[in-house]
Structure 1
Amino acid sequence: MKILIFTGSSGGHMFPAFGFLDALQARYPLIETLLVLPKKSLGEWAKKRNYPYKVIEVSSFGLAQGIRNVKAFLQLCISFLKVIFLFFAFRPAAVVGFGGLSTVPAIMLAHCLGIKTLIHEQNVLPGRANGFLAPFADAIAVSFKETSRYMARYEKKIALTGLPLRKELTRIEKKKALAFFGLDDSFVTILVLGGSQGSHRVNMAFLQAVSSLVRKDGIQVIHVSGPLDHAVLKEAYGKEGIPAGIFDFLEKMQFALSACDMVVSRAGASTIAELIRYELPAILIPYPFARKHQAENAKHLQEIGAALCIEETASLASELKDCIASLANDKERLMRMRYAYRKTAYRDGGNLLSEAVLSLCP
């Protein structure tokens, strides 16, 4: 059996695809897979994980971009042709799409050719590509039950699978995880994340917030900053005397997620799934320019009492300081936030999604 997997260019699309491939290959090693990526630069990710891949480039469209949109449209047309040739060369039993413009040609053509299709929606609020593709897909896998409200017309197609996490994201004993970073197990450890690309606004707001705390002693930080702010943060934490591990990118995220007591982060779907998996109290700062995707994701954890949510406004650093101070000094509240995750079920997204895909195949 052969399965084709198409994914968008962001970590929010790509990491769930890797989680799916990890689970599928672990349980069904004889199934042949091919991952199709929209950018050459993403190939290194697939190489590291030893997954066969192919690149079919697709550029995004934008408002008032003129000639760039013309080029993007031409590239999309070319990608349709390349996908047709790929289908006839690879002959998949099923095609799986993880969102993004690059999945549009694949799912539409598979539908026309009678090949079974499944799309996976990572966020609570469906993305444009998946919203467009929903009528053509044979099945729609969702990460959150709330997503069904936005796709009620396709209720019979929907399967609640959760979001597939990469196989390495396992729990590690806390002292061992802290030792990995050279941090003290008697301190409160805050993990700061800005999404797969890093967030300058989150980085700087957190630095300002933690630096202005009246009581900084007893706090230590693991900060995954992205490349832009790495040097600035390293110098600033040193000056403030705050123990910190600063990384532009951290491959072994399982150590950071196992070591920390609380998280300050954007609210991408993969981050939410990781918080649920590790039952971590969080202060979430949804990215304000993503069609409210992250706001809806954050709301899911806020409503069960597992997270605080702050809007990205001019007073972000001040609000963040107050939230950090209230949580870092209240171990009982942190424990209640951990227990709140028991109100939402953790789902083995990789295995459930694998079964959903295979159920479509003859």
Structure 2
Amino acid sequence: MLKVLIATGGTGGHLFPARQLAEQMKDCELLFAGHKLQSSPFFDRKIPYCEICSSGSKKDLFLLLKGMWQSLKLIFRFKPDVVVGFGSFHSFPVLLAAAILRKKIVLFEANCTLGKVNWFFAPFAKKIAFQFLVKRKKAAYVPLLPWSLKQVEPKKYPKDPKRVCILVFGGSQGAAFINETFCKAAKLLTFPFEVIHLTGKEDPNIVYDVPSVVKPFEEQMQAAYEAADLVVSRCGAGTTAELIRYAKPAVLIPYPYAHDHQRKNGEYLKQGARVLLQKDATPEKLSREIELLRNNLEVHKLALKQVALPETIEFGKLVRSVGEKK
């Protein structure tokens, strides 16, 4: 039986695709390893896993060395045929140990450009899986996230045909800036609309005087997208893929501390989205961008449907092919 070590941790953006890979490889012996798996709300602790020390700061050298030592012992014990990395510093010690021990490595990069950890380990990887079209050695292409679509409640969000439905969210952790700015921008909009607002956490201060659903999180994002006419959000990799999949025009406010990845994700959508930098995103400018998007919805939808996508292979099959190759 193929043994697969999955190095991941941190936010939903890293853990959601890792868990979906696990679904594709149920016939293999799987082990998750990474930092903060124990405390993550996005990880199912029924899955076999090992908590590994790590740190996002170079100053915490002790934690990184401890994590590498833990990872070396783990790899000696588990003896994986292939190690799969999903980026972020949470996976760094595991991937470093795998590189030292010359284990086969497959990386998954959800964004349009490599993150720091994936960039560092790219020379050691057999394959680097992307969901967006990029020019890079060792690149392989996998379908757009999410890789598994669950059945959703029919018409979970009843829609008023006379109103534009705006879906607002800030990613798996929410975004206080978007929550606050959109609430103010909503008061400036001049067309009839309704709101689905996913806040990331309970916020009793978010109240609208138009039809609205305000909740911390939505497990059935497909239902929210199906109801929406347009989206206001960050532009993480998962969101970017979903906007293409569901052809939903969006005003995107990149997270300003993500090493420019999110801005590049937004630009990948070309005319399908309007990118507004956070430093420029006043309520007045956000409302103006929403109005402009709403006035040309069909044009923006068509642009999303025309985004260039490569031929793909299921990620589980790609990992198997690397792991089984002698």
Normalised by the length of structure 2, the TM-score is 0.90
* Structure 2 gap segments, 5+ residues each: none
Offset at residue 139 of structure 1 (A): 1.5
Look up the match of 2:217.
Answer: 249
Whether 1:232 and 2:195 are equivalent positions in the alignment is: no
**Partner Cα separation in structure 1 for residue 119 and residue 287 of structure 2:** 38
- CA 1:19–1:164 in structure 2 vs 1: closer, same or farther (change >3 Å)? farther
Whether 1:38 and 2:9 are equivalent positions in the alignment is: no
Structure with greater helix percent: 1
* Structure 1 gap segments, 5+ residues each: 63-68
**Partner Cα separation in structure 1 for residue 230 and residue 211 of structure 2:** 16
Aligned CA-pair RMSD: 2.3
Amino acid at match of 2:238: S
Whether 1:96 and 2:84 are equivalent positions in the alignment is: yes
* Identical positions, percent: 34
Offset at residue 183 of structure 1 (A): 4.6
- Which secondary structure does the structure 1 equivalent of 2:42 belong to? helix
- Which secondary structure does the structure 2 equivalent of 1:231 belong to? coil
**Partner Cα separation in structure 2 for residue 41 and residue 249 of structure 1:** 20
Look up the match of 2:178.
Answer: 202
**Partner Cα separation in structure 1 for residue 293 and residue 266 of structure 2:** 18
Normalised by the length of structure 1, the TM-score is 0.82
Look up the match of 1:271.
Answer: 239
The C-alpha deviation readout for 1:297-347, integer Å capped at 9, x for no partner, is 00001x2x211111112553112111222333x3xx312222222322567
The answer on whether the counterparts of 2:12 and 2:172 sit within 8 Å (CA) in structure 1 is yes
The answer on whether the counterparts of 2:86 and 2:108 sit within 8 Å (CA) in structure 1 is yes
- Which secondary structure does the structure 1 equivalent of 2:89 belong to? coil
Amino acid at match of 1:33: L
Offset at residue 265 of structure 1 (A): 0.7
The answer on whether the counterparts of 1:283 and 1:308 sit within 8 Å (CA) in structure 2 is yes
- Which secondary structure does the structure 1 equivalent of 2:4 belong to? strand
Whether 1:158 and 2:142 are equivalent positions in the alignment is: no
The answer on whether the counterparts of 1:15 and 1:270 sit within 8 Å (CA) in structure 2 is no
- Select the residue among 142, 149, 167 that pairs with 1:168: 149
Look up the match of 1:55.
Answer: 51
Offset at residue 53 of structure 1 (A): 2.3
The answer on whether the counterparts of 2:86 and 2:107 sit within 8 Å (CA) in structure 1 is yes
Look up the match of 1:299.
Answer: 267
The answer on whether the counterparts of 2:185 and 2:286 sit within 8 Å (CA) in structure 1 is yes
The answer on whether the counterparts of 2:252 and 2:274 sit within 8 Å (CA) in structure 1 is yes
Amino acid at match of 1:276: I
Q: Between Structure 1 and Structure 2, how many residues are aligned?
A: 323
Look up the match of 2:190.
Answer: 214
Matches within 5 A, 1:1-362: 1-22=2-23, 24-25=24-25, 29-42=26-39, 44-47=41-44, 50-61=46-57, 69=59, 72-146=60-134, 148=135, 152=136, 155=137, 157-165=138-146, 167-168=148-149, 176-177=154-155, 180-215=156-191, 218-227=192-201, 230-233=203-206, 236-237=207-208, 241-301=209-269, 303=270, 305-328=271-294, 330=295, 333-345=296-308, 352-362=314-324
Offset at residue 76 of structure 1 (A): 1.2
- Which secondary structure does the structure 2 equivalent of 1:359 belong to? helix
